[in-house]
Amino acid sequence: MKKLIVKIEKLDHFGRGIARINNIPIFIENCLVNEEVEIFITKEKKNFMEGKVIKYIKKSPLRVESLCPYYDSCGGCDLLHLSYDEQLKYKENKVKEIIKKFCGLNCVKDIVGSKQFNYRNKITLQVNNNIGYFKKKSNDIIAIDKCLLVDNRINKIIHDLKHLDIRNVNKIVIRVTSFESMVVFYGNVNLNFDLNVDTIIVNNKVIKGNGYIKEDINGFKFVISSTSFFQVNNIGMINIYDKVLEYVDGGNVLDLYCGTGTIGIYVSKKSNKVLGIELNKEAISDALINKKINDINNIDFISGDVGSVLSQNNFKADIIIVDPPRAGLDNKSINNIIKINPKKIIYVSCDPVTLARDLNLLKDKYEVVEITPFDMFGNTYHVECVSLLSLKS
Ligand SMILES: C[S@@+](CC[C@H](N)C(=O)[O-])C[C@H]1O[C@@H](n2cnc3c(N)ncnc32)[C@H](O)[C@@H]1O
């Protein structure tokens, strides 16, 4: 086993420390800048290596003790060894660095923080003999009794599940809102027990409750079905939606990748008309219910792939809001957005690298006015951004 002593130069975009030997970078988890560590090499390639810490020779004053007993092996968190304030600084600098490097822009604002622990309203648990999370870079499961990131009602449900016979279950999704809870079991399941939750679903079949749960976000009501996307951190979601709302100033709005219609409904009072487009049919059914229960008359929804729906129609819009998955926008969608020629584009992104790529494709025609990073996923390397783009005159 090859052992080395190295000094950490900086953190990479995945929260790993970077050290160098003969100018070859070594990526090492659970390390901070200026720390000296003894490591062994776990992977050796021509252009990079990966290492694991054996011993901390000099620790950073920024290091905090991780409160999670599973941190070393669980694949969930990356930054539990850094205080929350320092995590926010890291995320803000990361966005600044990416946007400067790939777009040559200096328009990134201060990050808006959220909550470090107990913020998640949803988790996916893997099941074999144990209930838990995947280990880092593995399909092995690490059994957990509770998780520091999730709402404590989810931890209570995990505790209850541990006492039940779930032998043929492969995967369990737990979701909670301010009022309700839902558990979805996947696998060859024959449920012979009840659970103290509002809705139980087995694969696609509703066993208990309505098959959806309800949430209230700043006075708007939302129903959420089991396969519909819903932001996992309510505080982070409201921070992001408020920023989007700040940029909406009337006119016709396209809400692309609209999920259950949350953003479109949130901004509908400041808009003339809103049209939401979303691939997931179940999310669109939820969006139509959400329109009705909020008594909103100036919003409609279409189910389909954003690029295709835009190609097949001749929409006019003053503002286009996009909130795509991590992969960002595809070329068809970008070309269609450019063709529609809105005055503003509001880009909600969950990956600054694909955001930078897409901004480069839009920036001939649009000025990138400002980008605000938001923390939604404390203790992980992930960071969200809301960008405002304005049509050049
Ligand atoms: C990050 S979520 C945003 C949802 C919503 N804006 C919200 O805040 O809850 C991205 C959404 O895009 C949808 N989606 C993914 N690919 C799509 C595509 N090609 N066309 C339309 N919607 C898509 C997903 O189903 C998901 O609901």
Count of residues for the chain? 393
- Alpha-carbon distance 2 to 229, whole Å? 45
- The answer to whether the beta carbons of residues 384 and 374 sit under 8 Å apart is yes
Q: Mean pLDDT for each 10-residue chunk of the chain (393 residues)? A: 91 97 96 97 94 97 95 93 97 98 97 98 93 89 95 96 87 96 91 89 93 96 96 98 97 98 98 98 97 98 98 96 98 97 98 98 97 98 98 95
Spacing, Cα 137 to ligand 1 middle (Å): 26
Catalytic: 350?
Answer: yes
Ligand 1 centroid from CA 294, angstroms: 21
H or E element that contains 132:
strand 131-134
Q: How far is the CA of 293 from the centre of ligand 1 (A)?
A: 21
For 85-115+233-391, CATH number?
3.40.50.150
Give the separation between CA 268 and CA 59, rounded to whole angstroms. 51
d(CA 17, CA 25): 10
Classified as helix, coil or strand, 17 is strand
Residue-level pLDDT at 167:
81
Give the integer Cα–Cα distance in Å for 297 and 145.
46
Task: Determine which one of 31, 74, 350, 385 is catalytic.
Answer: 350
Residues with Cβ within 8 Å of residue 220, at least 6 apart in sequence = 262, 265, 266, 290, 294
Rounded Cα–Cα distance for residues 41 and 22 (Å): 14
What is the structure's pLDDT at 165?
83
Domain 122-215: CATH architecture, name and number where available: Beta Barrel (2.40)
Residue 192: its pLDDT value, please?
A: 78
Q: Pocket around ligand 1: residues whose beta carbon is below 6 Å from it?
A: 229-231, 257-259, 262-263, 277-280, 283, 305-306, 323-325, 350
Which residue from 117, 115, 6, 119 is spatially nearest to 68, judged by alpha carbons?
Answer: 117
Residues in CB range of 97: below 8 A, 6 or more apart: none
Nearest alpha carbon, ligand 1 atom 26: 259
CATH number of 3-63: 2.40.50.140
Domain 85-115+233-391 matches domain 122-215 at the CATH topology level: no
Domain boundaries, the chain: 3-63, 85-115+233-391, 122-215
DSSP letter at 194 equals -
According to the model, what pLDDT value does residue 278 have? Answer: 98
